[in-house]
């Protein structure tokens, strides 16, 4: 059972002062979910990534949020409780301002009514302006769990292209450790040449981002690679994502992992 009280905050419900939020997804919200990635941290090639989030309340009055730091057991992490007094609550640079910390991790949220949570993780551009990617909060029902076969595994697709780096994120949404099998296939379903099959250990509520994932493979230009992630331990449940980043500009694109069994 996670610890569920740290402090009550309402001061961050600042619609007018915030940048325009990403478009609201259609359909009802959910109570329990994760933002798979959030940061207040330096990245490669001079980038510095921060995360802003928007909480669209669709019947909720309060929400618990936990920052689950990458590579750590976060089962005893305490939540921050935010009251939702406006239709949209904006939390700019959430890792630094709400959680009073820095680093990379995921954000778990649990509301007392339906919510839709979206975020933008961004870095300043060398010539002015910024680059970033919108990440939608995912309900826990979309997770991959043990003993569900190929239909229950999570997948993303990626091209191996010069000048880009592909970062794979894995998030354990359970309070038990998980072993995750990662496999990389070519478009015809064959194992990609190189170190294309390996396992990753995730602590309770832990996450990791495997940067430059395709550096594990033999050199070559291959289109339509398939990355599959599945839970091979008896316990654990995971979400996953892929972020492809242009090495020259740090412009990223985000891909939510999917499973055939949705």
Query: For the segment 203-253, what is each residue's pLDDT rounded down to a tens digit?
Result: 999 999 999 999 999 987 778 899 999 999 999 999 999 999 888 887 889
User: Dihedrals φ, ψ of 199, to 5°?
Assistant: -115, 155
pLDDT reported for residue 156:
96
Whether residues 187 and 122 share a domain: the answer is: no
Integer Cα distance of 168 and 184 in angstroms: 11
Residue 133 in domain: yes
Per the prediction, the chain carries an average pLDDT of: 88
* pLDDT category of residue 22 using cuts at 50, 70 and 90: low
pLDDT for 18 beyond 70: no
**Cα–Cα distances in angstroms (integers) from residue 197 to residues 151, 171, 228, in the given order:** 18, 18, 10
pTM exceeds 0.85, yes or no: yes
Q: Are 247 and 45 in contact (CB under 8 A)?
A: yes
**Structurally, how many domains does the chain consist of?**
2
Residue 52 in domain: yes
pLDDT reported for residue 17:
32
Of 123, 141, 159, which residue constitutes the final position of a domain?
141
Higher pLDDT, 189 or 15: 189
* pLDDT category of residue 24 using cuts at 50, 70 and 90: very low
Whether residues 35 and 122 share a domain: the answer is: yes
Task: Give just the sign of the alpha carbon dihedral 187, 189, 195, 199.
Answer: positive
pLDDT for 11 beyond 50: no
pLDDT for 21 beyond 70: no
The pLDDT of 15-31, averaged and rounded, is 54
User: Dihedrals φ, ψ of 140, to 5°?
Assistant: -65, -20
The pLDDT of 85-104, averaged and rounded, is 97
Q: Are 193 and 217 in contact (CB under 8 A)?
A: yes
- Residue span of the structural domain in which 192 resides: 150-259
Local structure of residue 97 (DSSP, 8 states)? H
Of 82, 113, 141, which residue constitutes the final position of a domain?
141
pLDDT for 153 beyond 90: yes
The pLDDT of 43-61, averaged and rounded, is 92
- Return the SS3 of 93: coil
Local structure of residue 188 (DSSP, 8 states)? T
Whether residues 18 and 74 share a domain: the answer is: yes
pLDDT for 119 beyond 50: yes
pLDDT reported for residue 259:
87
Residue 70 in domain: yes
The secondary element (H helix, E strand) that includes residue 95 is helix 94-97
pLDDT reported for residue 261:
54
pLDDT for 25 beyond 80: no
**Cα–Cα distances in angstroms (integers) from residue 133 to residues 7, 32, 250, in the given order:** 29, 22, 11
* pLDDT category of residue 14 using cuts at 50, 70 and 90: very low
Integer Cα distance of 251 and 67 in angstroms: 25
């Amino acid at each position: 059972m996670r610890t569920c009280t740290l402090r009550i905050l309402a001061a961050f419900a600042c619609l007018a002062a915030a940048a325009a939020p990403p478009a609201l997804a259609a359909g009802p919200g959910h109570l329990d979910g994760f933002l798979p990635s959030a940061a207040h941290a330096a990245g490669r090639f001079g980038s510095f990534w921060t995360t802003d989030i928007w909480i669209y309340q669709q019947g909720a009055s309060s929400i618990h949020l936990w920052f689950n730091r990458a590579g750590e057991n976060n089962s005893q992490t305490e939540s921050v409780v935010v009251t939702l007094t406006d239709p949209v609550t904006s939390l700019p640079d959430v890792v630094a301002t709400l959680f009073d910390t820095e680093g990379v991790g995921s954000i778990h949220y649990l509301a007392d009514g339906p919510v839709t949570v979206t975020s933008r993780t961004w870095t300043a551009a060398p010539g002015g302006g910024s680059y970033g990617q919108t990440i939608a909060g995912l309900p826990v029902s979309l997770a991959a769990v043990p003993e569900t076969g190929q239909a229950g595994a999570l997948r993303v697709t990626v091209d191996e292209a010069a000048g880009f780096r592909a970062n794979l994120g894995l998030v354990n949404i359970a309070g038990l450790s998980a072993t995750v099998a990662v496999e990389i296939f070519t478009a015809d379903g064959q194992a990609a040449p190189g170190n294309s099959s390996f396992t990753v250990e995730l602590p309770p509520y832990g996450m990791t981002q495997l940067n430059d994932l395709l550096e594990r493979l033999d050199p070559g230009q291959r289109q339509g690679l398939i990355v599959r992630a599945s839970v091979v331990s008896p316990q654990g449940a995971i979400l996953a994502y892929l972020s492809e980043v242009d090495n020259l500009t740090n412009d990223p694109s985000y891909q939510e992992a999917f499973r055939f069994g949705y």
